Amino acid sequence: MTPLASLVRAPIDPIALVRAASSPRNGAVILFLGAVRQVNEGRDVTGIDYAAYEAMAQRELQAIVDEGATRFGTADVVVEHRLGELQVEDVSVGIAVGHAHRDAAYAASRWVIEELKRRVPIWKREHYTDGTREWVDPTGHVGAGSPR
C-alpha cells in the first residue's frame, strides 16, 4: 500500500494498523504504540487532551511517512495520531512498518516516531489529579499558565 498518515478522534485499532502494513514482501512488521502515562515528571496525570494545527499536522505526518518509506525502502508505513481527550493507558499514536527485513523495520519505526515528535504541530495538555491542566513544553521553557 502507499504510506498512510491520519489524525483520528476515535480510538486507534492496532490490529488494523498491522494489517495495513502487512504484505507478502514483508518478513517483519513492527507495531509501535504510544500511550498516556500516569506519571509525568513526578506529577500524577489523569488524562491528556491533544490538539493540533490540523491541516499542517496532516501534511507533516504525510511527509514523514513518505520520507520514511523512501529512506528505508518500503511502501508499508502507516501512522495514526489521536486528537481529543484521552485517559491514562489510551493509545495516542500508532505506527506500523512492514519491511522485508527486521533491522530496517525497527529503524524505520524509530525514525518515524522521532520525526513526529520533532516536527508535527500537535500539542498535549495534561490533566493533573489536583484539577489543573497545563500544556506540555518538551523544550523545558515555562509555558503559558505556569508560574514564572
Partner 1 sequence: MYDAIAHMTVTVLLFASYAEAFGASSLAVEVAGNATVADVLSNVRTHPGADRLPPMPLVAVNQQYADPHALVRDGDEIALIPPVAGG
Q: Name the minimum Å distance from CB 37 to partner 1.
A: 11
CA distance linking residue 110 with residue 117, whole number of Å: 11
How many residues sit close enough to partner 1 to count as binding (CB under 8 A)? Answer: 32
CB 15 within 8 A of CB 90: no
Residues within window 85-144 making contact with partner 1, judged by CB under 8 A: 92-93, 113, 116-125, 135-139, 141, 143-144
Site string for partner 1, 20-59 (x = CB under 8 A): --------------x---------------xxxx-xxx-x
Contact between 84 and partner 1 by CB under 8 A: the answer reads no
- Provide the phi-psi class of 120: left if phi over 0, else alpha when psi is between -120 and 50, else beta: beta
Residue whose cell numbers read 508499508 = 76
CB-nearer residue toward partner 1: 82 or 99: 82
Contact 79, 93 (CB under 8 A): yes
H runs (alpha helix) in the chain: 14-21, 54-72, 102-119
Q: Which residues bind partner 1 (CB under 8 A)?
A: 34, 50-53, 55-57, 59, 81, 92-93, 113, 116-125, 135-139, 141, 143-145
